[in-house]
Amino acid sequence: MTRSLPVSLRDIILASERISGRVRQTPIVRSDALSERVGAAVYLKLEHQQITGSFKLRGATNAVLSLSAAQKARGVVAASTGNHGRALAYAAKAEGSSATICMSRLVPENKVAEIRRLGANVRIIGRSQDDAQVEVDRLVQDDGMIAVPPFDDARVIAGQGSLGLEIFKDCPEAATVLVPLSGGGLAAGVAAALKAINPGIRLIGLTMERGAAMKASLDAGHPVAVEEEESLADSLGGGIGLDNRLTFSMCRDLLDDVVLLSEPEIAAGMHHAYCMEREVVEGAGAVGIAALLAGKIDVTGPVVAILSGRNVDMEQHRSVINGATASTGKDTA
């Protein structure tokens, strides 16, 4: 790669070393069912088995561990669609700091309840992540809290990139990696790690059709605002920030493609994960499987799909397994 990246392979290696012992090195397993389906080896990176149920713990932990003692004493704050808030609450508690998590009313109640259980102060603000971010900015300005953004932060991106190092270590033959795409922290970090090691590897971002902010921004050539909508892949909701500093440019430069998925396709991914792989994953975590099932990936060699999270409302999950194809829980009948 000729373009210099704001987060380097060295940054990611240092982050991986920093968080070692505080996060799980999650396994990669071969999916015989998907391999037979697409005619090539398909591996699943079981990141939904992470301690807090999603990859977000990597970036949150690296960010908190990068703070000084004085900064930790001031407390950390973030906007979240759920999983980053849960991860930051856990990481802050582990380091003796306090966390305040600002979320919109679209965040599922199961995710809000878990963040509260971890001891964080929860503030529900508006109907979008952008609304929640306004409260974060106020708390930073008025109360001196330390912001730990969910994705557009070099410490967070480097932490998420540690997942890419694990993929290469356990599956060096991978030709394509399928990565859930929202604000771009995971995609940017994983792509930065893997492209630095193997420039020929393909990185494909996967997101839902409803309110895909990064896809809309990449198409426009600059960050744009989109209206957030309910989706089975609720963790992929939220804007990327009109003042995005890092993830937009990294996704633009590193991703080979972005694929959009419908609600029925996401539901099919969740259904397959449960019935064929015996894994409970949320909609955002199932998009890699969904894209393969829908025939939306040109498979030319071994594929790794990242199952990024499991923090799904179990009533919703049950309805999907029983035939629902949308976040409302309505089935096809």
Give per-residue burial for 214-228: e unless 16+ CB within 10 Å, then b: bbbbbeeeebbebeb
Query: HSE on the CB side for 22, CA within 13 Å?
Result: 26
Catalytic residue among 56, 111, 195, 215: 56
CB of 238 closer than 8 Å to CB of 213: yes
**Residue 45: active-site member:** no
Other C-beta atoms closer than 10 Å to the C-beta of 296 total 16
Cα separation, 109 vs 209, whole angstroms:
23
φ/ψ (deg, to 5) at 308: -85, -20
User: What amino acid occupies position 88?
Assistant: L
φ/ψ (deg, to 5) at 230: -65, 145
Cα separation, 46 vs 42, whole angstroms:
13
Catalytic residue among 66, 80, 308, 327: 308
Those residues whose C-beta lies under 8 Å from the C-beta of residue 64, and which sit 6 or more positions away, are 72, 76, 88, 91, 92, 94, 95, 97, 148
Residues labelled as active-site residues:
56, 308
